[in-house]
Amino acid sequence: MKTLSETLGIKAQSKTFLTADWPAPANVKTLITTRNGGVSEAPFHSLNIGAHVGDNPEHVARNREIVQNQIGLPVAYLNQIHSDIVVNATDALATLIDADASVDTTGKAACASMTADCLPVLFCDKAGTVVAAAHAGWRGLAGGVLQNTVCAMQVAPLEIMAYLGPAIGPEAFEVGQDVFDAFTAQMPAAESAFESIGGGKYLADMYALARMVLQREGVSMIYGGEHCTVLERDSFFSYRRDGQTGRMVSAIWLDNEV
């Protein structure tokens, strides 16, 4: 009988760390943090990775060290600005770059996406030669961050697999007419990912929208997309739910020793 974590498409290593449950090559490694297992105090309790949310910098540094020890490679944290910008992960190690996705073929850095309701998407190719991570809020998702990430990987889309990490779910993501219009204007089929609740408001399924975008790019191997950061209060940070809060990180890297 499957555990809850397996049913949701994620394998639990512990209450602190998760890994993507997908048929990636053995040399492709992933780590998805929860809100648990760190040193930050309320309202950032406890494994807050975000250095920009008002948490004690010493606590954030310790939390990042905890993550670093699990990964074993330097993590390429980005200054995420809800853009469509993709950079090489190794270029983001020495300086904080404005971008929302990174790609790596070297095995010298972990690509990372920090989130607290936005959608983290992890990518690899079937041959295990390239990995990427994207931060997709609705603006980035509508603006092309996933398309640009697929392009930056420089492999055929049919060779790419994508994992949709923990994000705000369709029961909690209330949006306005502007978000509906942003997607349906360029992708009419996106209307099926919105449920009208009246007054020009909708419940949006960001997972469904991401799948549509990826499928349109030719990516057919898509996994994950079962969580809700808002409703799963004990496991995940949620900006929509709590306002001032911490950030999780979803990371992916190539292990050259495998």
Report domain extents, the chain. Answer: 15-167+218-254
Q: How far is CA 57 from the centre of its chain?
A: 23
Q: For the chain, what is the total number of helices (H) and then of strands (E)? A: 7, 15
**pLDDT given at position 258:** 74
Evaluate if residue 14 carries a pLDDT over 90: no
Evaluate if residue 89 carries a pLDDT over 50: yes
What is the DSSP code (8-state) at residue 98?
A: B
Considering just the CA atoms, what is the radius of gyration of the chain in Å?
17
Position 175, amino acid: V
**pLDDT given at position 206:** 98
CATH number of this structure's domain 15-167+218-254: 3.60.140.10
pLDDT band for position 213 (cuts 50, 70, 90):
very high
**pLDDT given at position 257:** 83
**pLDDT given at position 1:** 33
- In DSSP terms, which residues pair with 75 in a beta bridge? 110
pLDDT band for position 34 (cuts 50, 70, 90):
very high
The 10 Å Cβ neighbour count of residue 249 is: 25
